[in-house]
A and B are shown apart, each in its own frame.
Chain A
Amino acid sequence: MDSYDASESTPRQSTSLRPEDYFIGATFLQKRLESVRKQTSFIPTPPRRKIPHCSQLQEDVDPQKVAFLLHKQWTLYSLTPLYKFSYSNLKEYSRLLNAFIVAEKQKGLAVEVGEDFNVKVIFSTVLGIKGTQRDPEAFLVQILSKSQLPSENREGKVLWTGWFCCIFGDSLLETVSEDFTCLPLFLANGAESNTAIIGTWFQKTFDCYFSPLAINAFNLSWMAAMWTACKMDHYVATTEFLWSVPCSPQSLDISYAIHPEDAKAIWDSVHKTPGEVTQEEVDLFMDCLYSHFHRHFKIHLSATRLVRVSTSVASAHTDGKIKILCHKYLIGVLAHLTELAIFQIE
Chain B
Amino acid sequence: MDETVAEFIKRTILKIPMNELITILKAWDFLSENQLQTINFRQRKESLVQHLVRLCEEKHASLNDAALLDIIYTQFHQHQKIWDVFQMSKGPVTVSFRETEENAVWIRIAWGTQYTKPNQYKPTYVVYYSQTPYAFTSSSRLRRNAPLLGQALTVASKHHQIVKMDLRSRYLDSLKAIVFKQYNQIFETHNSTTPLQERNLGLDINMDSRIIHENIAEKERVQQITQETFGDYPQPRLEFAQYKLETKFKSDLNGSILAEREEPLRCLIKFSSPHLLEALKSLAPAGIADAPLSPLLTCIPNKRMNYFKIRDK
State whether A258 and B288 are in contact (beta carbons under 8 Å apart), knowing that A247-B282, A252-B280, A287-B253 are contacts in the complex.
no
As a 0/1 sequence over residues 266 to 278 of chain A, the CB contacts with chain B under 8 angstroms (1 = contact) are 1001100000000
**Contact yes or no, A250 B282, CB < 8 A:** yes
Interfacial residues of chain A within 205-251, with CB under 8 A of chain B in the complex: 238, 245-251
Question: Does A300 interact with chain B (Cβ within 8 Å)?
Answer: yes
Count, chain A residues at interface, CB 8 A: 35
Contacts of B243 in A (CB 8 A): 296
Which A residues lie within 8 Å of B286 (CB)? 246-248
Q: Is the CB of B294 within 8 A of A250?
A: no
Residues of A within 8 A of B280 (CB): 252
Q: In the complex, what residues of A have CB within 8 A of residue B282's CB?
A: 247-250
| Contact B265–A292 (Cβ < 8 Å) | yes
- Is B279 a contact of A254 with CB atoms below 8 Å? no
A292 to B287, Cβ gap below 8 A?
A: no
With A247-B283, A266-B258 known as contacts, the answer to whether A254 contacts B288 (CB < 8 A) is no
**B276 touching A252, Cβ below 8 Å:** yes
A304 to B279, CA, bound (A): 13
B265 pairs with A262, CB closer than 8 A: yes
The number of chain B residues with a CB under 8 A from chain A is: 46
Determine if B271 is an interface residue (Cβ-Cβ < 8 Å).
Answer: yes
Q: Cβ of A58 < 8 Å from any Cβ of B?
A: no
Q: Find chain A residues with CB under 8 A from B247 CB.
A: 292, 296
B266 touches A300 (CB 8 A): no
Please report the C-alpha to C-alpha distance between residue A255 and residue B241 in the assembled complex, in whole angstroms: 11
Q: Decide if B18 is an interface residue (CB 8 Å cutoff).
A: no
Q: List 27 A-B contacts (CB under 8 A).
A: A245-B283, A245-B288, A246-B288, A247-B288, A250-B273, A250-B275, A252-B276, A255-B268, A255-B269, A255-B270, A257-B270, A262-B265, A266-B258, A269-B258, A270-B257, A288-B251, A288-B257, A291-B253, A292-B247, A292-B249, A296-B296, A297-B294, A299-B283, A299-B288, A299-B294, A303-B287, A303-B288
Q: A254-B270, A265-B258, A296-B296 are in contact. List 8 more A-B contacts (CB 8 A).
A: A248-B207, A249-B194, A250-B276, A252-B280, A255-B269, A255-B270, A291-B252, A297-B297
Chain B positions near chain A (C-beta within 8 angstroms): 193-194, 198, 207, 243, 245, 247, 249-254, 256-258, 261, 263, 265-276, 278-280, 282-283, 286-290, 292-294, 296-297, 310
A residues neighboring B (CB under 8 Å): 238, 245-259, 262, 265-266, 269-270, 284, 287-288, 291-293, 295-300, 303-304
